[in-house]
Structure 1
Amino acid sequence: MADAPLPAADGMLQVVVCYATDRDEFLRPLQVAPGTTIGAAIEMSGVLEAYPDINLSTQPVGVFAKKKTLDTVLREHDRIEIYRPLVADPKDSRRRRAAKKDAAVPASGGAAPAA
């Protein structure tokens, strides 16, 4: 549910608050005053009302895929992102793929049997 961009007001910063679930996404353009923090912009966006399961004390946030704290001051055109917990540990997933690949490769010890 993306809203249309807002025209920039004098002295205001244009930012976007983003959150995605496995079923939908939240993109909300905002105009904020200089000095506004990530936490304040998230509260202004309405995302916490739309997704009450968001817990900012445990879920990381960031700007353009770089983790930041809630008290980080925003800059023009920042994209604020609220990250969900990982479904699977990336290291465990890689190990499973590697083990599956190794199991599929036949041992090469000699010539293939004749048919």
Structure 2
Amino acid sequence: MASEQGKQLEIEVAFALPAKQKILSVKVAEGTNVYDAALNSGMENYFPDLDIASARLGVFGKLVAKPAEQEVKQGDRVEIYRPLIADPKASRAKRAEKKAD
């Protein structure tokens, strides 16, 4: 898909921990994908332990299966998701096992 050279889109990139969250307004070139938008947002400056390369990404609460292939649109909010602390299936199984005892 051809794009006008130099056209900029305004988007937001968001990340949150339980005690701290940040939403950055970012300008990116038209044609930028979700992954590159997150990577180039500078979010790691605010959260040094954040590893965007291994994080799951979404747009407006919907997980993006292939962030390196999906382009951002004007006004999008790219969300960087934290890894789960525990596997939900394993947690449910453990609770069910305790309840059975």
Gaps of 5+ in 1: 1-10, 104-115
Count of aligned pairs: 93
Alignment of 1:76 with 2:74, yes or no, is yes
Q: After alignment, is 53-62 or 14-23 more displaced? A: 53-62
Aligned residue number for residue 14 of structure 1: 10
Identity of aligned residues (%): 37
Aligned residue number for residue 4 of structure 1: none
Shift of 1:71: 4.5
Aligned residue number for residue 30 of structure 1: 26
Length-normalised TM-score, structure 1: 0.65
Deviation string, structure 1 residues 59-93 (Cα, Å, up to 9, x no partner): 22222321232343111222211122110010011
Greater strand fraction, Structure 1 or Structure 2? 2
Instruction: Give the distance between the partners of 2:75 and 2:100, measured in 1 at CA.
Output: 46
Write the mapping of 1:80-95 to structure 2, written as runs, cut at 5 A: 80-95=78-93
Whether the 8 Å contact between 1:19 and 1:81 is mirrored in structure 2 is yes
Whether the 8 Å contact between 2:14 and 2:78 is mirrored in structure 1 is yes
Deviation string, structure 1 residues 15-66 (Cα, Å, up to 9, x no partner): 2101111221111122333212223322443202111212233222222321
Q: After alignment, is 38-47 or 49-58 more displaced? A: 38-47
Taking only aligned residues, the RMSD between alpha carbons, in angstroms, comes to 2.1
Gaps of 5+ in 2: 1-6
Q: Aligned to 1:62, which of 38, 42, 58?
A: 58
